[in-house]
Amino acid sequence: MIRTNSRRDVLKLAGAASLASLMPSGKSFAQAAGNVVVIGGGFGGATAAKYLRKLSVNVTLIDASPNLVTCPFSNTVLGGFGEMAQVTHSWDGLRRAGVTVVNGTVSAIDAQAKRVTVQGNTTPIAYDRLVVSPGIDFKFTDAGSLMGYNEAAAERMPHAWKAGTQTELLRRQLIAMDDGGVVVMVIPNNPYRCPPGPYERASLIAHYLKTSKPRSKIILLDAKDTFSKQALFQAAWQAVYPGMIEWVSFSQGGNVNRVDPATLTVYTDFGMHKGNVVNVIPPQRAGRVVDLAGLAGTADFCQINPQTFESRVTPNIHVIGDACVAGAMPKSGFSASNQGKVTATAVAALLRGQQPTAPSMINVCYSLINPDYGISVSSVHRIGDDGTIIAVPNSGGNSPANASADFRKQEADYARGWYAAMANEIWG
Ligand SMILES: Cc1cc2nc3c(=O)[nH]c(=O)nc-3n(C[C@H](O)[C@H](O)[C@H](O)COP(=O)(O)OP(=O)(O)OC[C@H]3O[C@@H](n4cnc5c(N)ncnc54)[C@H](O)[C@@H]3O)c2cc1C
């Protein structure tokens, strides 16, 4: 049974468990031990780096971007009430915490010699353990990609599923669209980054359209028949945006199998849709850097040991965040950050010849319907008897149906508080 409105209990329970396991215990943690390299300074990698420093481990973090633009809260930019500056974070906080930050793209991993190379640098960086948190990449040419969609197509039909210039492009297109226009969103099948993300995006685009171009419409073409927080989203759409958002499920013909960027047309199993703005969220896989060490094998995402997040394929390399297969944990920033803490603890223990403890993790995903209307889903996770990460039975759940406007407003405030606290903890 799913309990509702149990977020506070969830946070108390899992917060206590995971933080207790992070506390330095006695003099063994006072000794520095080994060098860890972290690839990726997003939610997973930056958290791991920061907590490894707290545990007195030497850490070098490598990220390809000059700064970190988060996907969480990037939908508020599309909704017209958030700024890119609010979702952009510098590396200064990590540097202040003692992390050596290298700005560059990792172009080689030598798992045998235990070293990584940054593009353009001749001297490789040696590691005792490597943490890889590269997020996702899109399937543009791989098996399972969407016909017609590639990097060039994304300039006409933005994905905005990695935040930054793509978010700005989609925002500009929405601003340029005439009142009465049609926004088409193409939504992939599972697994993909942030299960409720597309539906929050539809809601916040609707918020912008309702306030600026009220005769416009949004059509969601979905490769699935069900989605995260579905009943809450659909009830909210009916109440806040009546007639504005049309969701077409897989069974109703929502599965898009080809796109034509030149004419802004998408083709489903049953017909075609032309949009004035087309947002395509393409099928996804682990960030391509994992291929440098064969960490995903022939699969899209990387198998890990859930106690340590060490790769099942290559020893001394840990894969966290969106790039790994984390059982029942969704691909979210909150999950990635929790996995970063668990991995930091495990890596610090392993470097000191100690046994890592069994982790307890949490996830809470907030979604905004508009600036004053929030909903959430939460869960607690541990390793189950089958050795995979499971959701603890009767933990977590969705926001209640039929809650008051005050309650929804409170959840929107919690969402903003969650983001501020996370960003400060990770990059602050
Ligand atoms: C629109 C949207 C809204 C979302 N909202 C939420 C939300 O409200 N709450 C939530 O919890 N999650 C949310 N998410 C999901 C969240 O963004 C991801 O789950 C999270 O970012 C995953 O963290 P990560 O560390 O795996 O990857 P990322 O945070 O993407 O970090 C990966 C980093 O690796 C770097 N990198 C990749 N390859 C290389 C290389 N070869 N060399 C050097 N660096 C490299 C990249 O530059 C990047 O900075 C949302 C996602 C989207 C798209």
Residue 9 has pLDDT above 80, yes or no: no
Residue 293 inside a domain? The answer is yes
Q: What is the pLDDT of residue 6?
A: 45
Residue 11 has pLDDT above 60, yes or no: no
Residues with CB under 6 A from ligand 1: 39-45, 62-65, 68, 71-72, 74-75, 105-106, 133-135, 161, 193-194, 197, 201, 287, 289, 321-323, 331-334, 336, 365-366
Residue 232 sits in the same domain as residue 269:
yes
Give the H/E segment covering residue 87: none
Residue 140 inside a domain? The answer is no
Residue 145 inside a domain? The answer is no
Residue 32 has pLDDT above 60, yes or no: no
Q: Which of 256, 280, 304 is the last residue of a domain?
A: 280
Give 348-379 pLDDT, tens digit per residue.
999 999 999 999 999 999 999 999 999 999 99
Q: What is the pLDDT of residue 5?
A: 38
Least confident of 23-27, 182-186, 199-203, 269-273: 23-27
User: In the numeric block, which tokens belong to residue 261?
Assistant: 């960027």
Residue 143 inside a domain? The answer is no
Q: Are strands 35-39 and 129-132 parallel, antiparallel or unpaired?
A: parallel
Give 235-266 pLDDT, tens digit per residue.
999 999 999 999 999 999 999 999 999 999 99
Testing ligand 1's pocket by substitution, the residue of 87, 130, 193 carrying the most ligand atoms inside 8 A of its CB is 193
Residue 418 inside a domain? The answer is yes
Q: What is the pLDDT of residue 14?
A: 41
Q: Which has the closest alpha carbon to 283: 261, 256, 263?
A: 256
Residue 292 sits in the same domain as residue 410:
yes
Residue 267 sits in the same domain as residue 326:
no
Give 92-126 pLDDT, tens digit per residue.
999 999 999 999 999 999 999 999 999 999 999 99
- Residue 184's domain spans which residues? 153-280
**Cα–Cα distance between 237 and 231 in angstroms, integer?**
10
Instruction: Give the CA-trace dihedral at 411, 376, 365, 305, to 10 degrees.
Output: 140
Residue 71 sits in the same domain as residue 188:
no
Testing ligand 1's pocket by substitution, the residue of 37, 51, 60, 63 carrying the most ligand atoms inside 8 A of its CB is 63
Q: What is the pLDDT of residue 15?
A: 41
% of the chain at pLDDT higher than 70: 93
Q: Which of 280, 315, 347 is the last residue of a domain?
A: 280
**Cα–Cα distance between 169 and 368 in angstroms, integer?**
21
What domain count does the chain have?
2
Q: Which of 280, 304, 329 is the last residue of a domain?
A: 280
Q: What is the pLDDT of residue 232?
A: 98
Residue 269 sits in the same domain as residue 395:
no
Ligand 1 atom with the smallest distance to the CA of 62 is: 43
Residue 243 sits in the same domain as residue 319:
no
**Cα–Cα distance between 179 and 20 in angstroms, integer?**
54
Residue 270 sits in the same domain as residue 292:
no
332 Cα to the center of ligand 1, angstroms: 8
Instruction: Give the CA-trace dihedral at 321, 325, 331, 337, to 10 degrees.
Output: -30
CATH code of residue 388: 3.50.50.60
How would residue 269 be classed by pLDDT, with cut points 50, 70 and 90?
Answer: confident
Testing ligand 1's pocket by substitution, the residue of 332, 361, 427 carrying the most ligand atoms inside 8 A of its CB is 332
Residue 260 sits in the same domain as residue 338:
no
Least confident of 21-30, 32-41, 314-323, 355-364: 21-30
Q: What is the pLDDT of residue 12?
A: 40
Average pLDDT, the chain: 93
**pTM of the predicted structure, to 2 decimals:** 0.94
DSSP for 165-184, please give it.
Answer: HHHHHHHHHHHHSPTT-EEE
Task: Tell which wins on pLDDT, 6 or 53.
Answer: 53
Residue 298 sits in the same domain as residue 342:
yes
Give 130-157 pLDDT, tens digit per residue.
999 999 999 999 899 999 999 999 999 9
Residue 214 inside a domain? The answer is yes
Q: Is 341 helix (H, G, I), strand (E, B) or coil?
A: helix
Q: What is the pLDDT of residue 17?
A: 39
Residue 147 inside a domain? The answer is no
Residue 345 sits in the same domain as residue 256:
no
Residue 31 inside a domain? The answer is yes
The set of residues, in sequence order, having a beta carbon less than 8 Å from that of 321 and lying 6+ positions away, is 40, 42, 43, 44, 45, 133, 134, 135, 331, 335, 336, 339, 340
Amino acid 222 reads D
Report cis status (omega within 30 of 0) of the bond before 400: no
Residue 272 sits in the same domain as residue 312:
no
The set of residues, in sequence order, having a beta carbon less than 8 Å from that of 425 and lying 6+ positions away, is 47, 50, 337
**Cα–Cα distance between 392 and 369 in angstroms, integer?**
28
Residue 415 has pLDDT above 60, yes or no: yes
The set of residues, in sequence order, having a beta carbon less than 8 Å from that of 109 and lying 6+ positions away, is 115, 116, 117, 130, 289, 292, 293, 317
Q: Is 405 helix (H, G, I), strand (E, B) or coil?
A: helix
Residue 196 sits in the same domain as residue 128:
no
User: In the numeric block, which tokens belong to residue 168?
Assistant: 């700005």
